Structure formats: structure tokens, C-alpha cells
Structure 1
Amino acid sequence: MLMRPFWHRRTGRPAHPAAGAPGRPPRGVFPRMGTMTVLPPQIRQQPVERAFHGHVFSDPYEWMRDKDSPEVLAHLAAENEYAESATAHLAELRETIFGEIKDRTQETDLSVPSRRGGWWYFARTVEGGAHQVFCRVPAVSTGDVIADWTPPVVEPGTPMTGEQVLLDANAEAAEHEFYSLGSFDVSEDGELLAWAEDVTGDERFTLRVRDLTTGALLADEIPGTFYGSFLSPDARAVYYTVVDESWRPHQLRRHELGTPLAEDVVVHEETDPGLWLGAGLSADRRWIVVEAMCSEFSEQLIQPVADPSAPLQVVLPRTDRVLYEAEPLLLDGREQILLTHDHDAPNSRISLMDPADLGRPVAEVALRDVVPASDTVRVNGCAVTATHLVVSVRADTTLRVRLLPLAGLGTAAQADPVEPAFAEELYTASVSAAEHDAPVLRLSYTSFTTPPRVYDVFVAGATGDDAALPAEPLLRREATVLGGYDPADYAVERDWATAADGTRIPVSLVRRADLDPAAPAPVLQYAYGSYEHSTDPAFSVSRLSLLDRGVVWAVAHVRGGGELGRTWYEHGKKLHKTNTFTDYVAVTEHLAARPDVDERRILVMGGSAGGLLVGAVLNLAPERYCGALAAVPFVDPLTSILDPSLPLTALEWEEWGNPIEDAHVYRYMRDYSPYENVRALPYPPVLAVTSLNDTRVLYVEPAKWVAALREASTSGEPVLLRCEMAGGHGGASGRYSQWKDTAWEYAWVLDRMGLAGA
């Protein structure tokens, strides 16, 4: 099912300026931001003491946690006013960058239709519309597999014969400041649509169901649901999850359409506060698969779709602490369980398991490997079709797809895997659709310089006439970049830095190909480095606005991410977390030593857990950066992790450790917590952005951090806080609002690099 944990989230110029030209002022004396005629908001201090393990921390700004306080709301409004006033001189540049993003984006666009059953499904975006319009047209079956599975050509702005609008998200969002979808599922027979929408940004969704044959909205409306709702294969019921008081998904419920909500059945409840509950259908839609998991182990349970009253069966017990995913399937007519798991395999392996062994400890289960363990290849997950196993792997830091026929799987007759080949060294390839009975796999491809592409791969054995099938992936679409974009104008480089302990750290660099290597360029250095999340090569239209002004985009693939396998992640979490921060500084030092990099103009950027990195790095080496951009930054981690009543806290103990029970963990986190370690240092200019309704990183963390930085910094550089008052963890909703936010942030970045006039 390619299920992975849902943890956290978060650009024409013909030539570049001569960045780093002789006569540049030294770091710290670039043009100051605006006239600064408006002073920052005055923030009162009201110390609140926090005592753990014999240590007392006096927090002067904890009072700002009261989200409903008129004083807090007034303060956030004052911060927004200050940020706008302090950057008023950048208003024209912001509009210019927004215009560049807009002008390069084909506003009237569409996705490549995907076939499911008797319909082709796709989404349109229309000029002036911030959201997508979800549509479908009837499919035909002629017996010609290539013709039948070739997507119809959809012309922008021109409806096709038989086109049906399933959901116009622009219309749905019209009365709301924020709008986001949490699920979208059409029944197997194509007659019902279930979707869930969030109109505040707090990631709590209202689930609705529409009869697509009549267009009528059913009376079934379920508030307070979480991500991932889905219809049962017979379209008689909808499955959904709800959250507990700490906003952790903990219950899977089944709602029979047409019945009162009070009669909904709790299919499964997860009582461990450290585990996250999710569910879905098996690939062949015969089983409900329920998953309770954290970042270190999981437990999956299965239930036959045909018998909703049957007890759920545990696949492997959680007591084994195996991190795994289960996929029930029929193999040569026999029921089997396909496991992607890390038992005796830190980078995971894929094995077959006999259903007779359900519930037994893994040591008692006879596992037959189909993808063996590897020290160099990370197995991320798999999808199953009627004929193939589709495996997602990470090799040489990049995400790839490998195909294995089901025929002979797990036996001596098993075929070798086939991997679609691509010309670029650094790219990202993944499966975007793998319908069980379809003869086609849909792949997504992108790189730092290649806009997103959609490929179809016809798989052997699905039609009985393999010789007639195309041998290579068929390119169905490449995203259009307007304004004469040419990937040859840009260069991508893989570099390696060395950490203090000798570890080699991969670094990805993207720049204009015509930059003069003798003229040192400014660098925007980005990293995330947590939750085994890898910052994979991906194209960005907005990034072109930086590159074309001579900025080099650098990604530091620090420990804590997943670029070099599970060990890379484990060496950047819990009591190894500081490796993430020191790796980042080591990358900065490496870049600063390059002759083509201007060491005075390196700016640190990260978001969410990457914002934690920004805060920690500033405490380690503030003098190395000309600025810091922190998006929804997790900068007060210890306070949050010490309070199990806060959203998602208990789930985080597997990432950071449990400072409540372990004094050593407490001391370790206290020593790197950005907020608690702010002190008299020459901090560079800082821009922190947050959202009032963010439930993953509460607004109060950056609000407190900004206040502490202003109080302690010896540099006199401005520290700004920008708060989206109607948004969530991803900021404002809708593409235009997001483009404006990006333009705001990039204008600030360019100003800090002395490029505001470029």
C-alpha cells in the first residue's frame, strides 16, 4: 500500500547579477531593512516556572500560550504590523516575485487523467481559482489495451464530452478564509463521493458524501474527522478516524450511510498514547488494514471486508517492536501476507508470511524474503497489482522504483527486479498510481531542474500480449513552465562535507549554469533533518526567482533525515540529535571554504523540525549567517514534549526521547533547545513565520523565541514574526496565498543578501 507514517510536514531574468563583486561590504553591514521607524512590539514578562529533575526553568513568555486571550491576539497583530512596516521597502520586490511565480505557472492546467473502472479521473486548475476542480469522463473498453489505457487529451478551459465535475474546491472554499481537503474517495462503482474539508487550518475535517448519479448531498455529515477517510468497497459505509484530547488519531469508526452518527461502530481503538492510528484497504480491496504505529515500531491488524463484524487479527504483535506494513494478497490462489519490515534489517526487507502465523511472535514465523536486507538500499514500501510487486527504494540517496513479477515470487523462480532508468544523477521517482487490475503503473518523476513528469509503464503479464506493449515508460506529461524556461540554464551538483566525527554529509547544490565561479555567490542553505524525512530532488517554480538573481540553493542532507538509510536517521534522533545541528554547521563551513561561495552571505532556512535546526544552529554559530528564515519552527521542544496534554506530544517521545521519565533525556534536550539557550550573542536578522491554527507546532513557540531573541541579541539586527491568522501548519490555503507568502519570504531573503535591487 506504500503506506508511510503521516508525521509532519512544510521563480524571467535573462542573466544573473555579478554576485559577490569586489567591494561588497563585510557580513553584518548590508543595507538595513527599511527605515525602521516602527519599533518592535513591547512584550511584557510574566515568569512561569517549570521544574523537572531538580532543574527549574523560569519562562518569561509562557503567558502567550493562551490562544483565546485578547492580549495575545493583539500582540500577534502588532507583530504582523511591525513585520510589514520593517519590510515596507520590499513591497515592490514582493509584487515582482509574486508576478514571476504567477507568470511562470500555467494557471489553467490539469492533471493527467487516471483510469479507475469505467472512468477517467483528473483535476483542473483554472485562472483565478486558488484550488482544484475534480472531474471525470467516461472511459471505453475496446479490447486494445494500449488504446484503452491511453489517457484522453484534456484541453485547458474546454470541457470534454461527458465531463462531470465531482467537486469544485473553489466554490466550496468561497466563503472561507482557509480551505483544505483531508480525503477524497470515489466508490468502486463510481456512484458516491466522500470527501472531508478543513475550513480553519487545525486539520479537523468535516466528512460529507455526495450521490454522483443525482448530484444530491447525502444527509450523512460527520464533523471532527482526521485524514484518510474512505468508502467501503460496497459503498454502504464510510470509515474514518477521530482524535483524542491530545489530537492523536486513536479511533477507527465505521458509519453505515443513512444511519444516525450515534450508531457508528468503533472498529478499533488505540489506547497507547504513543501510537498513531490509521487505516486503509488492501490493494485488492478484500481487507481492511488497520495500523497503530510510531517511528520505531508498529502493529497492524486485518479484517475481511466481506465481514465487518469479524474480529481484527493481529499480523505481528507490537511486543516484538518490529516496524512493518502488511499487505494481504492472493499468490497463485493462496492467501499470503506480504510484509515490509525491519526485523533483522535496519533498512527493511520484504518477506512473505503464511496467514497461519498471524499473531505469532516474529521469531516463530517462517519468513520468505522477496527483497532481502541491504546495507546500501533502503526499502521504503511496496504496492501490489494483480501481476506485479512495485517496490519503492532509496539507493545512492535517491528515491527509485523497482518492479517484480508476482509469478514465482518467493521461490527459486523469482525474477530479478527491473528499475526504470533515467538520465539524471539526482532525481526522484515514485509510484503515483497502481490500480490492482490495471495493466499500467503511473510514475511521478522530478529533479531540481526537471519540472514534474508523469510516466505510464505497461507491465508484462497483464494483458496476454506482452510483445505489443511499449518496453519503455511513456511520458504522458511534463509540467509547463512559462516564460521560456530551459533546464540547461541551471546546474546541479552533489558535494560532500565532512563532520567533526569524520562522517561525510551529502550536499545538493542548484545554481545558474552561467554563474561566474570567480565571483563568490550567496547561498540559501536549507535542511530538515528529522523523522527520517529526506529532502529529495524536486523542481520549484518559485526557486527560479532566487536562482536567477544569483543565489545558490544548497540542501544539507544532515543526519536525522533518511537520505542514507535508517542508520542515517537513527544517528540524528534522540540522544544523537545534536548531530543534526553540527552536521549543518559543518556543511556551512565546507561551503564557506569554496571559492565560488560568498561566506558572508550564507542564510539558514528550515521549517517545522527544520525550524528547530535553525534555532539550534543560530545558538551554535550565529556569526556564520547573514540571516535566518524559520517557518513554523519547533523552537521550544522541551516545553512541548514535557506536556502530554499538548497535541501529538506523546507521539513525539519516539523521536526525541521522554524527558518526563528520563533525566538524561531532559538534560540533553535542555542543552540544545533553541528557546532555552538564547543568550547574549550576535544573532543575525531573523524572520519567523507561523500560523495561529497550527496544531503541529503551536504559534506560541516562535512567538516566545522571537521575544527572547530580541531581548538577548547583541547585534541589533531586527527579529521579525509573521503570523498567518487563518492558516495551519502549511500556512495559508490556496495557491495564490501561498505564492504571496513565498514572495514575502524570498524578498526578505534577497534583502539580507544585498540583492533586493537585483
Structure 2
Amino acid sequence: MRSMSTAPVAKKVPFVRSFHGDEFQDDYAWLADKEDPDTLPYLTAENEYTEQQTAHLESLRETLFDEIKRRTQETDLSVPSRKGDWWYYSRTEEGKQYGIHCRLAAENDQITPPDTKDGAALPGEVILLDENAVAGDQPFLALGTFDVSPDDRLLAYSTDFAGDERFTLRIKDLTTGEDLADEVPNTSYGTAWSADGTELFYLTVDDAWRPNQVWRHTVGTPADQDTVVFEEPDERFWVGVGLSRSEAYIVVQTSSKTTSEVHVLDARTPRDDLQLIAPRRDGVEYSVDHQADAPGRDERFLVLHNDDAENFELATAPIDAPADWTPLIPHDPAVRLSDVDAFAGHVVVHLRKDGLTGLRVLADGEQPRDLAFPEAVYTVEPAGNPDYATTQFRLHYTSLVTPDSVFDCDLETGELTLRKQQPVLGGYDPEQYEQFREWATAPDGTKVPLSIVARKDTPRDGSAPCVLYGYGAYEISMDPWFSVARLSLLDRGFVFVVAHVRGGGELGRHWYDDGKLGHKINTFTDFIAAAQAVVEAGWTSVPRLVARGGSAGGLLMGAIANMAPEAFGAIVAEVPFVDALTSILDPSLPLTVTEWEEWGDPLHDPEAYAYIRSYAPYDNVEERPYPAILALGGLNDTRVLYHEPAKWVAKLRAVGAPNVLLKTEMGAGHSGPSGRYDAWREAAFATAWIIDIVGKAG
């Protein structure tokens, strides 16, 4: 075999991909076959080579891991949320990888949650599920659902021990603490209970890993007696199931990237037929919540929709005429309405305005009130609010310098009460750091927002190293967030920048539309413009600029590596969607058909094929001065299959890219290692590589 001081060389097996008159030589297509006798040995050799090439960083990795660990309050509790007669919360214990889910009996009329700021376990708690015990000796664990029945008697939970997001569903009797005999394999995310806790609705997937069926399970009966209550035949649509916040309705939503349809079912009569809210119309998206009657107001559905409302409006609909929508918050082209939470006497709307998140409270009979927050760059979003009748609204607030903070908002007065802020040990002082909102100018003149954080003593003379992070797809916004691991970079003089490129949703629906389908290249040129802007502003210099992104953000990394390799000193691509065209051409793969509304349909549309072909990273690798690249993948990933980064790295090596590393997690999936200590070590690995690379840049 080869010496590990020499990069692995993947074998070449001639294969020609031919579509629409275009022929593409794909010498590494064989890597998509896990059964090929050379596939796993090749991935193993790459891991060994990466370990050898980074062996000199072992001490730094340990230092970084210790920094994360020392700054983290390892034994800690979340802020309890009241529902019915119980306070629900989760906690962690020092030395244990996973969380422990608990509840505590509530006193009558107790509104204020128990104090958890010291991190101590609460006396009298009942452990609902200890993930550490569930995981046992398994190297990976993820939960797909954690759902307590409305009568507080049963817990539905599902587990994945491989990272492939195929879950086994179980039901636990919370009175005895024992699992029932009920067990359903191969389920997807999400469940919904009937009102009396005798029936449980869950999801399964088709061969392409698309949630397409809703099943009804009667507690205490074998899974082979379960009944399909809804099936979605259109391969563009994914199905979800859940309860309305009032717990009065089971809600089945089926959605493509551009269209949706909702059915509901009275949770008191779970064997009735589903009721359609409004039939699907191409391009119309809507979601539904329920509000029971109250003094001066009839029972109603709340419908958030984009019918002739690009940035969505909130409407109401009578229970007996659910397709008759009357505006409650009319469409505002400057405000993107993203979600709605219904309470007995209030409605809380999650929105975006001026590139920032926000919350608007609508109390019955009162004028709407937008909650105000102090920082110029921040993120605010709803937290766990399981109690429908509450007058307190739980929210999370954070920024690039403010640790995650849990507030309760009095829905009558708007007063905010801080319940807990994420502890950062070791003397963290937010006053030592600054955050900024700056703008880059894209080639077409569009202003692209940048969120920037650095220590106040960081020079702006081009000497500081910088990490530039981006995503840019699915209308997912990279809103500012606090990171304990990031402090290890900032305290070493790094600048951290988030480029809010088109394809995300930061500036409303148009921001998304301008970065998808035939406008996708805007995502890449926005990011390159952001790189140029931070250099021109003196935040960093090209050799000390590291680009980073994952999944669809990994596609961004691969594209900018081809389009502007000279603009970056290094690139970190995590679970990168770099063989995009090959994957989108194969409708048997997970996600492909539903993705056609995001990227285009290259299988049937020659123009879409040519456009994706023009930017797909793997297709466009050729001899050029690539920067250093670290690619991270997961063997059991069902979203971006492991062979995409593997093929990309093999081809980069073949064209002479000088410093390319591949690390594949052999027992995990899209989200990487599941245990918190394992995740910290993964963070330390990438951080050490970044520090080393910019150090070599001088």
C-alpha cells in the first residue's frame, strides 16, 4: 500500500454521463457504490492521510477542545416550560454526551418557572428519557420525535443509531417508566397524539427518503395493524404531521418548494376523515394554526399564506369555511411574515424586517405590538411554548456577542423578564467584542448584508485572519448566533463574518427568489463580493481569509473555489453538495425530485441542465490555483451522500490541487457526531486546521 505521507490516489474507472447532447467524463462515479470493494478502503485511506497531515495539530486540537469544555457549564438545565400540571425541561451532566429529559410537578397557579441558573438538578424531578441510557454503547444517537401525550401519560420517542435519519418509534408509559411493546421501524420526524392519547399519528418515507405517508397507530396494538390515513403521491411534496397549539386539531401539511396544502382532523375523533383547508394551487404556500373561541371572538383557523402576497399575510378563516380567508395582518412588502403561534387570547407572529428577525403580539381587541430589542444585530425567535392558555410567551434572544438568552414576555404588557442566559465560564466579557452590520456590493449592484464580530482590539489593517461563512439556499437565513467555540478564534485575533447572500431569506422572499433556479449564480457572486469587501475594508487579507459553509453552503464553497480561487486563502466545506448535477439528475436519490423546484430540472429541461452544468462544482474542477481545502463528510448522510465530497477531493487531486484533505465520519450522517463531546472535538479539528492554515500564510 501507499505511505500516508503521500495523498491517496483514487482509481479511475471510465464512465460517461450523457444528457441533452453533453457528455461528461466521470472517472470517480464508482465511489457512489458502497459495495465496491475499493470504496470503504479509499475513504479509510483518506482519513488516515488527513490524520497524518494534521498530526502536528494534535496539541492545538486538545487545547481548543479544552477551551470549549472550560467555557461550557457541563452540568446545566434548560428553563422549564409549564404544560398542564408539569414543568418540562432538559438537563445535562458533566461527562455525559447527551441530554436528560425531565419534568417536575407544578404547584397550583405557578407561573414563574423554577430557578435553574445554578445548573443544579431540581428536587422531585421525574426523568422521562435519559438519552445517555438510550445510547448505551452506540457511537451515535439522534431523536426523531419526543412527544408527550396531551394527558401527560405517554411519551412517543424515536431513535436513530446510524445518522441515516431512519427512526424506530417507541412509546413509554410515564407512570411505570417502562416502554410498551409498541415499536414501529423506519419512521420519519414528527408525531401527533389524539386528544385522549389512544392514537398516535406518525410518518414514513418512500424509497427516495421522502416523507409521504401519515399512519395512525392505536396504542397497544402491533404496528402491522396501523392504518394509512394520508398519502402524497406527488414526488415534489413532503408530508408533515403535528398538533395545533390548541391541541384541538391534528394537522397534516404537504409541501413542495413552492406549493402547499393542509388537512386537519379533530383530535377528539381521530378515526374521522381528514378535512381539507384549501386545495393546492401552484405557487401558493400556506400553513394553519387553530384558535379556540374566546369572549368577543369565535373559534377560527389562522392561515399564513402568500396568495398575492409575496412576503405572506396572516388571515383568519371560519371553522366551517376554512378556505374563506380574511386578512388579519395584510401583506406588507417590507415585512416577511414567517410563522404564527396561537394562544387563548393572543397571537404571536414571527417576522423579518430590515434583515432582522422580530416578534409581533396581537392581543384580542388591542393594537399589534412589535417587541423591541437593544442591539443592532441580533436574532429573536419563539422558544418552547407548550401551554396554550398562558399569558407568558417564551422567546430566545442572541447575537454574535450575546449568549443565548431565554426571556418570558408578558403578553398583556410586553414586559420582558430574563429567565436565563447561557453561562459562558472563564470570565467571558461581551464588552471586549464588537459586532457590526456592513454591506458588500454584488456585481449587479445589489447590496449584500454582512454580520461581523471581532475583539475590539482587532486591527483593521489587513493583518487579521478571518472566517467568512455562507449558506444561501432554501430561504434559510443565517441569522446572527453566539458560539462558544467561535471564541477560540476571536481570542486569537480572528474576525468572523456571515455573508447573508441571496438564496437565503434575510431580506424577504425576493432575496430567496433572486438566488434560486436561473438566478443561483447570484449566491456565488454575492459571496465573492463579500470576500472582496472584507479585504477592502481592512478586516483581513486574501491569504488569511478562510471561506466556510456546509451542505448547500458546501455547494457555495465548491462554486467559489472554481470561480474565484484567488480570492481565498483556504476553504472548509462541510458535507458539501458539490456533485450537484449528478445528484439532481437521479430521481431515485433522496431529495432529488422535490429539489427540482429549488435548482431546476436538468433531467427534462436542457436549459436547466446547461445552467447547473455551468456552476456545479465537481463538473467544473480543472487545473487552476486552488486554495487549501478541507472537506468533511458523513458515510451515513442521506441528504448529501458521502461520495460527493469524496469524488470532489479525488478530482481536485487529479488536477494537481496541492493541499486538499478529506475527513469522512464513518459512523455519522449529515449533522456529524451526535454526542456533545464528540461534536466539540470535531469543532476543534476544523478550528485547528483553520488556525494552522492562516498561520502558514504569515
Q: TM-score, normalised by structure 1?
A: 0.89
Give the drift of 1:354: 3.0
The one-letter amino acid paired with 1:377 is V
| Partner residue of 1:640 out of 583, 588, 594 | 583
State the distance in 2 between where 1:493 and 1:739 align.
27
More contact order relative to length (CA 8 Å, sep ≥ 6)? 1
Alignment partner, residue 742 of structure 1: 683
State the distance in 1 between where 2:223 and 2:86 align.
31
Q: 1:320 to 1:629 in 2, by over 3 A?
A: closer
Does 2:339 align with 1:398?
no
Q: Is the 8 A contact 1:43 1:707 kept in 2?
A: yes
| Partner residue of 2:34 out of 43, 63, 67 | 67
State the distance in 2 between where 1:732 and 1:68 align.
24
State the distance in 2 between where 1:756 and 1:684 align.
11
Q: 1:546 to 1:214 in 2, by over 3 A?
A: same
Alignment partner, residue 19 of structure 1: none
Alignment partner, residue 18 of structure 1: none
| Partner residue of 2:131 out of 153, 165, 169 | 169
| Partner residue of 1:117 out of 84, 88, 112 | 84
Alignment partner, residue 436 of structure 2: 493
Q: Is the 8 A contact 2:288 2:301 kept in 1?
A: yes
SS at match of 2:281: helix
State the distance in 2 between where 1:556 and 1:154 align.
36
Give the drift of 1:231: 2.6
Q: Any idea what the Cα deviations from partners look like across 1:14-66, whole Å, max 9, x if unmatched?
A: xxxxxxxxxxxxxxxxxxxxxx9711112110022221111111210000111
State the distance in 2 between where 1:738 and 1:351 align.
42
Alignment partner, residue 6 of structure 2: 39
Give the drift of 1:314: 1.7
Give the drift of 1:498: 0.6
Alignment partner, residue 16 of structure 1: none
The one-letter amino acid paired with 2:374 is A
SS at match of 1:46: coil
Give the drift of 1:223: 0.9
State the distance in 1 between where 2:587 and 2:459 align.
53
Alignment partner, residue 266 of structure 1: 228
Q: Any idea what the Cα deviations from partners look like across 1:669-716, whole Å, max 9, x if unmatched?
A: 000000000001010111000000000000000000001111113xx5
SS at match of 2:425: coil
State the distance in 2 between where 1:308 and 1:38 align.
63
Q: Any idea what the Cα deviations from partners look like across 1:353-388, whole Å, max 9, x if unmatched?
A: 2344446xxxxx4x3211111111110010100010
| Partner residue of 1:353 out of 317, 329, 336 | 317
Q: Is the 8 A contact 2:77 2:121 kept in 1?
A: no
State the distance in 2 between where 1:132 and 1:37 align.
38
Q: Which moved more, 1:53-62 or 1:608-617?
A: 53-62
State the distance in 1 between where 2:248 and 2:484 align.
41
Q: Is the 8 A contact 2:31 2:39 kept in 1?
A: yes
Give the drift of 1:722: 0.1
Alignment partner, residue 377 of structure 1: 335
State the distance in 2 between where 1:679 and 1:428 align.
40
State the distance in 2 between where 1:155 and 1:650 align.
47
| Partner residue of 1:751 out of 688, 692, 696 | 692
The one-letter amino acid paired with 1:419 is D
| Partner residue of 1:432 out of 383, 389, 392 | 383
Give the drift of 1:157: 7.0
State the distance in 2 between where 1:313 and 1:230 align.
16
Give the drift of 1:599: 2.9
Q: Is the 8 A contact 1:574 1:655 kept in 2?
A: yes
Q: Any idea what the Cα deviations from partners look like across 1:618-674, whole Å, max 9, x if unmatched?
A: 100101111110000000111111101001111111110111111100000000000
Give the drift of 1:243: 0.3
Q: Following superposition of structure 1 onto structure 2, how do residues 214-233 of structure 1 map, counting pairs within 5 Å?
A: 214-233=176-195
Q: Following superposition of structure 1 onto structure 2, how do residues 167-206 of structure 1 map, counting pairs within 5 Å?
A: 167-206=129-168
Give the drift of 1:346: 0.7
State the distance in 2 between where 1:451 and 1:480 align.
8
Q: Any idea what the Cα deviations from partners look like across 1:601-623, whole Å, max 9, x if unmatched?
A: 11111000000000000100101
Q: Is the 8 A contact 2:258 2:282 kept in 1?
A: no
State the distance in 2 between where 1:454 and 1:490 align.
21
Alignment partner, residue 509 of structure 1: 452
SS at match of 1:753: helix
Q: Is the 8 A contact 1:194 1:230 kept in 2?
A: no
State the distance in 1 between where 2:507 and 2:609 align.
28
State the distance in 1 between where 2:292 and 2:100 align.
37
Q: Is the 8 A contact 1:108 1:156 kept in 2?
A: no
Alignment partner, residue 369 of structure 2: 418
Q: Is the 8 A contact 1:108 1:124 kept in 2?
A: yes
Q: TM-score, normalised by structure 2?
A: 0.97
State the distance in 2 between where 1:159 and 1:433 align.
20
Alignment partner, residue 638 of structure 2: 695
Q: Any idea what the Cα deviations from partners look like across 1:156-177, whole Å, max 9, x if unmatched?
A: 6754332111111111112211
Q: Following superposition of structure 1 onto structure 2, how do residues 265-664 of structure 1 map, counting pairs within 5 Å?
A: 265-331=227-293, 332=296, 334-358=298-322, 365=324, 367-405=325-363, 407-408=364-365, 415-434=366-385, 435-460=387-412, 472-518=415-461, 520-664=463-607
Q: 1:239 to 1:356 in 2, by over 3 A?
A: closer
Alignment partner, residue 29 of structure 1: none
The one-letter amino acid paired with 1:51 is S
Q: Is the 8 A contact 2:291 2:344 kept in 1?
A: no
Give the drift of 1:259: 1.1
State the distance in 2 between where 1:320 and 1:353 align.
21
State the distance in 2 between where 1:422 and 1:524 align.
27
Q: 1:647 to 1:192 in 2, by over 3 A?
A: same
- Please identify runs of 4+ aligned residues in structure 1 that moved more than 6 A: none
State the distance in 2 between where 1:494 and 1:158 align.
38
Q: Any idea what the Cα deviations from partners look like across 1:152-205, whole Å, max 9, x if unmatched?
A: 124767543321111111111122110011111111221111111110000011
Alignment partner, residue 12 of structure 1: none
State the distance in 2 between where 1:311 and 1:117 align.
29
State the distance in 2 between where 1:671 and 1:158 align.
56
SS at match of 2:465: strand
SS at match of 1:449: coil
Q: Is the 8 A contact 1:230 1:239 kept in 2?
A: yes
The one-letter amino acid paired with 1:342 is N
Q: Once superposed, what is the RMSD of the aligned Cα atoms? A: 1.6
Alignment partner, residue 170 of structure 2: 208
The gaps in structure 1 that reach 5 residues or longer are 1-35, 143-147, 360-364, 409-414, 461-469
Q: Is the 8 A contact 1:90 1:756 kept in 2?
A: no
Alignment partner, residue 9 of structure 1: none
* Identity across matched positions, percent: 48
Q: Any idea what the Cα deviations from partners look like across 1:62-107, whole Å, max 9, x if unmatched?
A: 0011123332111100000000001111111111111100110011
Does 2:96 align with 1:129?
yes
The one-letter amino acid paired with 2:271 is S
Q: Is the 8 A contact 2:495 2:539 kept in 1?
A: no
Alignment partner, residue 46 of structure 2: 79
State the distance in 2 between where 1:540 and 1:327 align.
33
Q: Which moved more, 1:43-52 or 1:306-315?
A: 306-315
| Partner residue of 2:65 out of 90, 98, 104 | 98
SS at match of 1:754: helix
State the distance in 2 between where 1:161 and 1:505 align.
50
SS at match of 1:579: helix
The one-letter amino acid paired with 2:407 is Y
Q: Is the 8 A contact 1:180 1:197 kept in 2?
A: yes
SS at match of 1:267: strand
